[in-house]
Amino acid sequence: MQNHKRPPASLIFIFGGSGDLNFRKLSPALYNLFIDEWMPEKFSIVGIGRSKYSDDDYRKHLLDGIKQFSRRKDEQNGKWKEFSKGISYLQMDAEKDAEYKKIASIVKKKEQEFGEHPNVIFYMAVAPQLVPDIAKKLGPLNICSDTKCTRIVVEKPFGHDLQSAHDLNALLASMFDEKQIYRIDHYLGKETVQNLLALRFANALFEPIWNRNYIDHVQITAAETVGVEGRGGYYETSGALRDMVQNHILQLMCMIAMEAPVSFDADEIRNKKVDVLNAIRKITHEEVHQFAVRGQYGEGWMKGEKVPGYRQEKSVSPDSNIDTFAAVKFYIDNWRWQNVPFYVRTGKRLHDKTTTITIQFRPAPHYAFPPEAAETWRPNKLTISIQPEMDIRLRFQAKRPGQSMTLNPVDMKFSYKEAYNGDEPEAYETLLLDVMEGNATLFMRSDQVEAAWKIIMPILEAWQTRLPIDFPNYAPDSWGPEDAEALIARDGNNWATFATQ
Ligand code: BG6
C-alpha cells in the first residue's frame, strides 16, 4: 500500500506522442510510476502526433512498447486497463497555429473533470529542430503564463553548439520562466548517478580525501557496444562529443567534482555544478590535439557477428568525418582539483557496455614493505559502476594468507543488486515524477547548458577545421583508437580495464 505523497493532478501533453522516445521510454516510465502508485490520483496523458490513431489504437500501440521495453512487461493484473483510461491521443499538425486551440480546450475540459487546476506539462519528445517552433506556438496560450503549474520539458540535444543553445534558451525564456523549463539529461535520473551525491555528501569518510592531495586522477568511461542503431541521420549532425560528452559526461564530472551543497535546493545543487563547469580549463584550438582524441569505427566483428563500419550505416555519408569515439583530458582550475587530470572517453562499438567512474588515489607516501612483498601492489582505487551493473568498489592492499608477507590488491564491494533486491526505477521514471512534483534539481539550468557548450566548442571547432585523415581508426569490439591510449599513457597512466577488475 502506498505510503508516500503523490504529485498533484497532472495533465501531460507529449509532443511526438507517436514517436520512438514515447514508445520506448516515456510511456513505460509513466506506467511503472502508476504501478508503484506514484502517479497523481488525477492524471491525463495526451499523446500528440500527426499520425492517425483512435484512442484505443493508440493505447494498444503504447502497450506494445511496454511489452518490449518496460521493466515490467505485462499488464499487471488489470493495472494497464486502469492506467490506460488516462491516455488519449490528439492528432494535430504542430506547425499550424490554429491547432493549438485544441490544447487550450483540452486543458479547460480536464480542469472541469478534475475539479481543480492541474499541472500542465508539455513534453517535447520531438526532433530538436521542431522544438523552437512548437515553443513559439505554445507560448501565447494563456496557460503558459502560469509559472507555478505549467512546465515544458525539453530533451537533449539542447542546441547544436553554443550559439544555437543560447538562441534556444533565449527563445524559451521569452515564453516561459526559467523555473518552468525542464531540460532533461537522462543520466541525472539514473539511480547510481544520484547515489554519487549520497556517497560523497552523506558520508564523512570520503570528503576529507576527495581532493588533489589524495586523488591522482579521475577517469570516466561511457562505452557502448551498439553502433548508431539506425539513428545515422541524427548522428551525422552530432558525433560522440556532442552526443555524450557535452551533456552526460560533463554532468558526471560535475557530480564528482562539485563542492558540498548547503542544502538539496535545486538551485543550490545546480550552482555548485555550474561552478565546476566554469572552472574547467578551456582548451585552446592549438592544444586540442594534446587534450582530445576522436575516432570512428570501421567494419569488423563484434562478438562473432559481422558489423558494418560507421560509414556504411544507414543515412550516413560514405565519407563521413563524424566522431563515434571521443576521449578528452580535462583539468579543473580550482583549489580542490588543480592539476588532477580528468580523463573521459565515450564511444560506440566498443568492447563492453559500461559507464564507470574511477577515482585513482595517490600512491602510499612511503613503502615499508620489502620489494618482493609488493610485486602486485596497486594504488587505492574507488570504482563506481553506473551501468550495466550498479556497484561501488574500493580497492586496497591486503596480505595474502601464508607465512610470507605478500601484498595484493583486493576489492570491497557494494552491489545494488545484492543489497536491495527490488527493481530500481528507470531514469525516466525519476525524472517524470520530478517534473510532476516541480522539482528541478536533476534538470539542467540554462547557464549549465551554455557553460558545457563553452567547454567543448574549441574541440568541435578544431575538429571541424582539421579533418581527420585516419578515419575509420578503430575496430569494433576494441577500446577505441590507439591515440586514446597515448593520451593517457603520456601521463604515465592507463585506462581502467573492466574485465580484470
Ligand atoms: C543518449 C545518446 O543520450 O544516450 C545515445 O543520444 C546513447 O547515443 C545513449 O546511446 C546512452 O544512454 P544509456 O542510458 O544507454 O547509457
Taking CA atoms only, the protein residue closest to ligand 1 atom 5 is 243
Q: What pTM was estimated for this model as a whole?
A: 0.94
- pLDDT at site 364: 87
Identify the pLDDT of residue 133.
Answer: 94
Beta-carbon contacts of 422 under 8 Å, excluding residues fewer than 6 positions away, are none
Distance from Cα 348 to the centre of ligand 1, integer Å: 10
Is 285 marked active-site? no
Query: What are the domain boundaries of the chain?
Result: 10-155, 189-366+385-397+447-489
Q: Maximum distance among all alpha carbons in the chain? A: 84
Q: Per-residue DSSP letters for 124-148?
A: E-S-GGGHHHHHHHHTTSGGGG-TT
Question: For a pocket test of ligand 1, which of 24, 154, 186 has the largest count of ligand atoms closer than 8 A to its C-beta?
Answer: 186
Q: Whose CA is nearest to atom 4 of ligand 1?
A: 244
pLDDT digits (tens, 9 = 90+) for 40-95: 999 999 999 999 999 999 999 999 999 999 998 877 778 999 999 999 999 999 98
3-state SS track over 412-423: EEEEHHHHCCCC
pLDDT value of residue 210: 98
Contacts of 465 (CB under 8 A, 6+ apart): 285
pLDDT score recorded for residue 2: 59
CATH topology match: 10-155 vs 189-366+385-397+447-489: no
CATH class of domain segment(s) 189-366+385-397+447-489: alpha beta
- Which residue lies with its CA nearest to atom 13 of ligand 1? 187
pLDDT score of 499: 56
Which pLDDT belongs to residue 340? 98
The rounded Å distance from CA 355 to ligand 1 centre is: 11
Ligand 1 atom nearest the C-alpha of 185 is 3
pLDDT, position 501: 41
64: cell is: 506494445
Angstrom distance (rounded) from CA 404 to CA 399: 9
Out of 61, 186, 217, 248, which one is annotated catalytic? 248
- CATH superfamily of the domain spanning 10-155: NAD(P)-binding Rossmann-like Domain (3.40.50.720)
Q: How many CB atoms lie within 10 A of CB 21?
A: 17
Question: Which residues 6+ apart lie within 8 Å of 489 measured at CB?
Answer: none
Q: What DSSP string describes 374-396?
A: GTT----EEEEEEESS-EEEEEE
Low-confidence ranges of the chain (pLDDT < 50): 500-501
Which residue's CA lies nearest to atom 2 of ligand 1?
243
